[in-house]
Amino acid sequence: MARIQRHKISTFASGMEAVLHIHEIVGTAGAGLTVGISAAIHGNEGTGSQVILDLARRIDPAKVRGRILLLPVANPPAFEANLRNSPIDHLNLNRHFPGDTGGWFSEQLAAVMVKQFLKKIDVLIDIHAGGALPTVDYIYIRNDEAMSRAFGSKLLYRAKPGIGGTVYEGTAAGIADSNGAKSMVVELGGGVLDQAPYVQRCLGGVENVLRHLKVLGGKPKPPPSEQIVMAGIDIIRPTMGGWLENAAPPLGEKVAAGAVLGRVVSPYTFETLETIRNTGKAGWMVLAHLSRNLVQPGEYGYMIGR
């Protein structure tokens, strides 16, 4: 059977309630793990919400072993505003777990998510995307490499904490890890593009992970023959604002040291304000602006895996 849980966080000044919606699918095919699948912790990363919608429509409880908890919109105010951070307190929700019931709104939200979702699962699949402008394509390896590989992406990132790494404090995945759950973080899609190809690919990857975990029946597809594990990711940001015109190789492909990644062009004078290059070593394209986007100085420009 499937049912929707409504968990109240607070009440906004408008009088509207702030609520988390969690879809619970209880399998009837036998005992198994409880898998939590979340999306839109960053509100401008809506690709994963579409994946969860399609997954809910496709899953037959009669073919599920165990239980699946679906959290399609983890950050409702940011999702509604299409912003990375909450417009209520301007905080990045995914840096404020485990939260605080007496803190900022995002901290209150995090505390409810921990209690009603993260503490109830054996496995977390947390789906992210590039955001409103850039597009991204890789998978984090956290505490179960085989599970991360089962998603089927070419690029995987074995992240390390500290300077130069992107394992941040205060994340939902970090809480899941500390509770003894297996976790994986998907980074796929985003940008000013049709998201349908990314939704379909992510949906297939999640279903294969569920087969790998024996939550869904059937034999999982083996990982692709070429999977590259990255030990670090360099973030390259524009220092000028304007139109960012992409010149980088496709995501998942090699990029040479010193290669031109893009150019920032003035919308007013049409002059090239900045030529953005790969300032580090040769690597793999992880994140890029695949359409001509208007950027501000210091925004995410490109990410290159090492």
Domain residue extents for the chain: 2-228, 232-305
Architecture of domain 232-305: Beta Barrel (2.40)
- The reported pLDDT for the residue numbered 286 is 98
> Is omega for the bond preceding 249 within 30 degrees of 0, making it cis?
no
Q: Is the pLDDT of residue 89 over 60?
A: yes
More confident residue, 169 or 157: 157
- CA 25 – CA 19 distance, rounded (Å): 19
Q: Is the pLDDT of residue 90 over 50?
A: yes
Decide whether 2-228 matches 232-305 in CATH topology: no
- The reported pLDDT for the residue numbered 162 is 46
State the DSSP string of 195-257.
-HHHHHHHHHHHHHHHHHTTSB-SPPPPPPS--EEES-EEEE--SS-EEEEE-SPPTTSEE-T
- 2-228 fold: Aminopeptidase (3.40.630)
- The reported pLDDT for the residue numbered 292 is 98
- The reported pLDDT for the residue numbered 165 is 46
- Confidence at 159, pLDDT banded by 50, 70, 90: confident
Q: Identify the weakest region by mean pLDDT among 1-10, 59-68, 236-245.
A: 1-10
Q: With CA atoms as reference, report the closest residue to 303 among 170, 143, 175, 191.
A: 191
- Confidence at 167, pLDDT banded by 50, 70, 90: low
DSSP tag of 89: T
Q: What's the pLDDT tens digit per position in 91-123?
A: 999 999 999 999 999 999 999 999 999 999 999
- The reported pLDDT for the residue numbered 166 is 55
Task: Give me the amino acid identity at 199.
Answer: V
The gap between the terminal CA atoms of the chain, to the nearest Å, is: 45
- Sign of the C-alpha dihedral computed for residues 146, 152, 69 and 187 taken in this order: positive
CB 288 within 8 A of CB 271: no
What would the mean pLDDT of 216-240 be, rounded to a whole number? 96
Does pTM top 0.75 for this prediction? yes
Q: Is the pLDDT of residue 50 over 50?
A: yes
- CA 109 – CA 17 distance, rounded (Å): 12
